[in-house]
Structure 1
């Protein structure tokens, strides 16, 4: 390898560096590859997406190309197939590329074409996890977590193999990319990775048995509707150890689930209204980001996004611009939802608790309720 500037020896200007480790294995290699690749794309007329820097967009004379980069794995699509061929020919002068054809497998995610769109799933990855756990032949169950199972740390025996627990739970985190139904349980188990107890391992085994019976589940993608709507919920003081609440939200484009999140709130909420109010503000930021990302795909959201919440008091608090005793202790950033309502970016609507599909992200549900969602 040629020596970098400042390291050349004047007496031996033609000397080179002897590598003891491949450049590809260095920590900075993905960043350097990304910088070099995007520089070539920008010279061809691409620009970075404002919402996602790993997405580059080419838009010229109604011709569109979308170029998504994850280290050395790339997705390319266009409304003109001839443009993709020209682009790949241009890049092959600088990079060694392999055209794998139509999308079928990307970053462990399998994509199956359907009459209405695509079906994304991680069946192979899920089976690999079950094999590593030694539960490839286990008996399946109907829910990811028993509704009455307590995961408190008190009076529990320490699990004797914490590394094995961390390995499995860490692997399951990636499975949640196409499995929102297990997001809540994985989030709960991740909170005990530093010191797992035997009861936590039993909950992990229960989750793996659920995955065994639903190994083919995934995300359907269709274009039946273009209406953007979201649901938000919060389980007030749901953690018995620190009494913090759990925020859960999901965002749909028609029937297609675009994004979802399960996250414990950073501070203790004094009431269910406060917990739901904080959840509303968190979901508002995600809605704005999705709208910006959709704009890169020539999809402009002209009407306010409907955000459904089952807490009437939180909805009233979001519409009330006056600070009073019940809100003056809440951090200023959570009042962001009021600006979104005022600017008509979001409109908050009430939904009955029985129709709140976001319950799947905030609590362990009984079998009948879980099956209904």
Structure 2
């Protein structure tokens, strides 16, 4: 640490302070705390997940414990209540911490329990955002995007850039429990805020029991950006009936065909679904069947299984061809899905009220079920 103003040693002005203990607020404090805490967890028998460094796993004869660490916030769960109690007792002896009981709030996310699962929402966070933007009394709308929306380069007086970035950042954080906002969140924000006003009580439903299979839906909006002509990748990944991962993001380069855009989207979801499989493997859960990817572009599916088409895809970066390798090894299965059943459409384009409501329910976004 640099010498603080007013306490600089005149004989050694260029010297720095050697800290014997990490101080809260310093840049190196989180790293020092993580090293200290993780070393103690390893001492207790935990192993750090290879796929996620913030996840620690303890597997023994008494059961399995999962501990998720985010700075100084901790979630712990497991198969044995007695083992969880013993771990919490050991942590309390080593560190100054407080057990808050069953999970209710975590990083702005509210957790509600119902028979058969949990419901995650950010109702309080959404209410504060609407109040901050003076949209608390706005009349709600059914969809976050109008069907015929368009973005163009602005001329004349612009809005306050700092305020706009703050609102967009807040909306992006809201997508932690609102996958129905993932596509609209980087587009005109006023209508999105009005939509949030009418659906602030909605959140993500997670069921405790459903068929154990991993699958995903992938889609791309070819050349959707009128300014750069880059395509938009959108996907939803499900573990059973639960949507566990989703994304809507602009592709890095311009695609020369719709098949190429869809193939790049398949590459993105393949990387994400592979990471989820690694997480499951780390906690001792193995898939009986290979993950399945659904796509509504037949030509893109042919590119994943037919090496003869390689001549047509030489311009596609080699990094994207690991999809074909996964399929050839049997680690991934690709299937065609009709466009009207393509659940990833909600992440790439504006939909009608009926289509949006249908796909939103498929994502598991709903009001809290009765207790």
1:141 partner SS: coil
**Distance in structure 1 (CA, Å) of the matches to 2:253 and 2:53:** 31
- 1:134 counterpart residue number: 134
- 2:253 counterpart residue number: 267
- 2:58 counterpart residue number: 58
**Distance in structure 2 (CA, Å) of the matches to 1:74 and 1:158:** 46
Shift of 1:83: 1.6
**Distance in structure 1 (CA, Å) of the matches to 2:23 and 2:147:** 50
**Distance in structure 2 (CA, Å) of the matches to 1:29 and 1:321:** 51
1:159 partner SS: coil
Alignment of 1:1-373 (within 5 A): 23-153=23-153, 156-186=155-185, 188-189=186-187, 203-222=188-207, 223-322=209-308, 324-373=310-359
- Number of equivalences: 345
For structure 2, which runs of at least 5 residues remain unmatched after alignment? 4-8, 10-16, 360-371
Cα distance per residue 1:238-262 (max 9 Å; x no partner): 0000100000011001110010111
> Contact conserved, 2:119 with 2:205, CA < 8 A, in 1?
yes
**Distance in structure 1 (CA, Å) of the matches to 2:119 and 2:357:** 20
**Distance in structure 1 (CA, Å) of the matches to 2:32 and 2:103:** 26
1:92 partner SS: helix
For structure 1, which runs of at least 5 residues remain unmatched after alignment? 4-8, 10-16, 190-202
Query: Using CA pairs below 8 Å that are at least 6 residues apart, which structure has the higher relative contact order?
Result: 2
> Contact conserved, 2:233 with 2:248, CA < 8 A, in 1?
yes
Query: TM-score normalized by structure 2?
Result: 0.89
| RMSD, aligned CA | 2.1
**Distance in structure 1 (CA, Å) of the matches to 2:159 and 2:293:** 45
**Distance in structure 2 (CA, Å) of the matches to 1:115 and 1:47:** 32
Cα distance per residue 1:33-60 (max 9 Å; x no partner): 1110010010010000111110000001
**Distance in structure 2 (CA, Å) of the matches to 1:54 and 1:18:** 28
Shift of 1:323: 5.4
Shift of 1:156: 4.1
Cα distance per residue 1:81-132 (max 9 Å; x no partner): 1222222222223311100000111111111011011001110111110011
Distance 1:158-1:62 versus aligned 2 partners, 3 A rule? farther
Shift of 1:62: 4.9
Query: TM-score normalized by structure 1?
Result: 0.88
**Distance in structure 1 (CA, Å) of the matches to 2:214 and 2:296:** 18
Cα distance per residue 1:7-56 (max 9 Å; x no partner): xx9xxxxxxx699xx91101111111111001001001000011111000
**Distance in structure 2 (CA, Å) of the matches to 1:160 and 1:88:** 50
